[in-house]
Structure 1
Amino acid sequence: MITLQSPLASPFDAASTAAEVMAGVDLRGKLAIVTGGYSGLGLVTSRHLAAAGARVIVPARDPKRASAALAGIDGSVVEPMDLISADSVSVFCARVVGRGQPVSLLINCAGVMASPLARDVEGHESQFSINHLGHYRLTCGLWPALLAAGSARVVAVSSRGHQIAGMDFDDTDFQRRPYDKWVAYGQSKTANALFAMALDTRGREQGVRAFSLHPGQILTDLARHLSSSEIEAFDVFDENGQYKVAPQAGLKTLEQGAATGLWCATSPALDGKGGVYCEDCNIASVNQPEIGRKGVAQWASDPDAAERLWQLSQQWTGLSLAKSRDMER
């Protein structure tokens, strides 16, 4: 299988921080949208984009909490949106597109992990619905504004957790197979990577490039559904109960964890590129399980699987990029 997963000669590595990646980046006059931009990695991302001069919109299910978290970050605004609600996403997109300002950066950072079985109103398993379908709807709805930027990037925050499971196209929503919260999470993170591949094939001729990434293993609110014993099993604490920082092993600070997403969003090294999965501020190689966990699984870098997921997502949501472009006329 031909792959685009070829690392670059990047000046950054696993230990690089968001501040290092963003040094000298000028985003004045640009509009960025960051889902999940008020906590964890998303908050760090929003802060650095705003510091570089971007106007940052953070859509949030809990606007009050988001506004409190973003207080003091000049250039950031909060608007209501719930990724699991198709209607809520549609209203948000119509509002943004209606203002007529191009969107240069869309960073899909929000997500849930290993949550109990739940479903959206259409019956889709909630991790898949929030992590993938909500962001698919958001991207389709914002497509006119992304095209209007002339040169835009869409960044999907995936995870090394995608290596847990590929797409089960025959039972994506666990209607027949027993529900496993980790398999569901892995599938949703594979979907993030495949989404970026399929989006990039559609957007590259029109100036919209897409990337997915693994930020690192960082203990954030994403772990809220895990028990203390489950967290301990990840071996993220030292003998004194302090969080370990070992970037080469994937254990990063928030500033290190946000670096790869910001690199995907802004690095000139990625000009003319797209549809790739990144980690440690570089394009990742295809994973070789016998060597370790670094890299992207073959099932998450398969263009046929990416196209199949796109077609199904279009069918499930009733949305396509072509229909979104009609909003411009």
Structure 2
Amino acid sequence: MEVILVTYANHSTKQESIHSGFGPRTTATEALGGQDLTGKIAIITGGYSGLGLEATKVLAKAGATVIVPARSLERAHSIVGAIPGVKVESLDLMSRDSIDAFAQRFLASNRPLHILINAAAIMAVPLVRDSYGNESQFSTNHLGHFQLTARLWPALKKAENARIVTVTSRIAKLSEIDLEDPNFEHQEYEKWTAYGRSKIANALFTVEMDNKGKGDGVRAFTVHPGTIITDLARNLSDDELGAMGALNEKGERALPEFNDEFKNIEEGAASIVWCAVNRQLDGLGGVYCENSDIAEVVADDTNPFQPGLYKRAVDPDLAAKLWVLSENLIGFKFNL
């Protein structure tokens, strides 16, 4: 098993298990580690659906104030509006103006931001571009969160001990980032390749974000939650889900039980919550996590649906290059 030591001028971190004591059946509540989050403020994109919703419930129950940005305010209010400590705000991750307006509203409150969970995503959709020409999965899953994090940076820094958690996917193993043509302008579009690129971008963003932010007490983590049937799979056909083993004998959308990769919602959100708040990760960052532990690096010829990640997902040189590309695509520099 290869261990990657990512080294910068004043920072190093090992991409290897810390033997957390947790595992694939750990729930989000258990991953919390019994912490009282009273006084903590969290923003969770996608916090009114699927894994984000479970994270919202767990953090709010532990005492945190949770802000849930949403494109559909009515839908979000109907789902999380009655949860104590939860507030819904307007945000469209494919709109630069919407991202800036959301961030400005939060910064105007002069509050610190202790936890930012970038969980919203779209998956395997037909080719659509945002108003700037960026492919929609890359735009929503990576660039939107990159810009959101940049705009919220003053509040994250103000917290002095903040964490950024970005949700990735094991599908990242099936693709490589294309720094020359990230938006499929010069090649045929393929929806799974595009999704994979956006997800490896999430992992690489975490590496460079942690490198740049840890001096200000801001640490970054990326999470593969496992395979869970949520609303994220709404664009997949039954044939595609069947090939993934996600249809039962009745043809219903459901995952088999007793498999370390296939999880229910409570188990799928566990690694997200663990990275967001668990004290076991104090002093660490820039790592890819799964099953509520830091994942191991595996050889590139390893079955992509087995645990672990490929080295390219935590390559610091590639992460630095993607950072520059991302700044160019959103039209401004991340003011650290």
Q: TM-score, normalised by structure 1?
A: 0.95
* Aligned mate of 1:188, from 193, 198, 219: 198
For the 8 Å contact 1:140–1:319, the answer to whether it is kept is no
Matched, 1:226 2:241: no
Partner of 1:266: 277
Question: How far, CA to CA, are the matches of 1:320 and 1:97 in structure 2?
Answer: 18
TM-aligned CA deviation for residue 288 of structure 1: 2.7
Partner of 1:314: 327
Partner of 2:294: 283
TM-aligned CA deviation for residue 71 of structure 1: 3.4
Question: How far, CA to CA, are the matches of 1:261 and 1:6 in structure 2?
Answer: 17
Question: How far, CA to CA, are the matches of 1:28 and 1:97 in structure 2?
Answer: 20
Partner of 2:141: 131
SS of alignment partner, residue 97 of structure 2: helix
TM-aligned CA deviation for residue 249 of structure 1: 3.5
For the 8 Å contact 1:245–1:253, the answer to whether it is kept is no
Question: How far, CA to CA, are the matches of 2:44 and 2:38 in structure 1?
Answer: 16
For the 8 Å contact 2:167–2:224, the answer to whether it is kept is yes
Q: Could you say which structure has the higher helix fraction?
A: 1
For the 8 Å contact 1:288–1:295, the answer to whether it is kept is no
TM-aligned CA deviation for residue 72 of structure 1: 2.8
TM-aligned CA deviation for residue 295 of structure 1: 1.1
Question: How far, CA to CA, are the matches of 1:194 and 1:57 in structure 2?
Answer: 25
TM-aligned CA deviation for residue 244 of structure 1: 2.9
Matched, 1:212 2:225: no
Question: How far, CA to CA, are the matches of 1:269 and 1:208 in structure 2?
Answer: 16
Q: TM-score, normalised by structure 2?
A: 0.93
| Comparing 198-207 and 240-249, the one that deviates more | 240-249
* Aligned mate of 1:118, from 116, 128, 136: 128
TM-aligned CA deviation for residue 164 of structure 1: 1.4
Partner of 1:298: 311
Matched, 1:105 2:115: yes
Code of the residue aligned with 2:292 in structure 1: it is: C
| Comparing 143-152 and 290-299, the one that deviates more | 290-299
Code of the residue aligned with 1:313 in structure 2: it is: S
SS of alignment partner, residue 288 of structure 2: strand
Q: How does 1:143-154 map to 2 (within 5 A)?
A: 143-154=153-164
Could you report, residue by residue, the CA deviation over 1:248-287 in whole angstroms, capped at 9, with x for unpaired residues? 4310000000000000001111111100000000000113
Q: How does 1:41-52 map to 2 (within 5 A)?
A: 41-52=51-62
TM-aligned CA deviation for residue 247 of structure 1: 5.6
Question: How far, CA to CA, are the matches of 1:136 and 1:246 in structure 2?
Answer: 35
Partner of 2:30: 20
TM-aligned CA deviation for residue 19 of structure 1: 1.5
| Comparing 284-293 and 189-198, the one that deviates more | 284-293
Could you report, residue by residue, the CA deviation over 1:111-162 in whole angstroms, capped at 9, with x for unpaired residues? 0000000001110111000000000010000000000001000000000011
Question: How far, CA to CA, are the matches of 1:139 and 1:247 in structure 2?
Answer: 36
Matched, 1:90 2:100: yes
TM-aligned CA deviation for residue 26 of structure 1: 1.1
Partner of 2:16: 6
Identity of aligned pairs, percent? 47
SS of alignment partner, residue 74 of structure 1: coil
TM-aligned CA deviation for residue 291 of structure 1: 4.3
Code of the residue aligned with 1:222 in structure 2: it is: L
For the 8 Å contact 2:44–2:56, the answer to whether it is kept is yes
SS of alignment partner, residue 66 of structure 2: strand
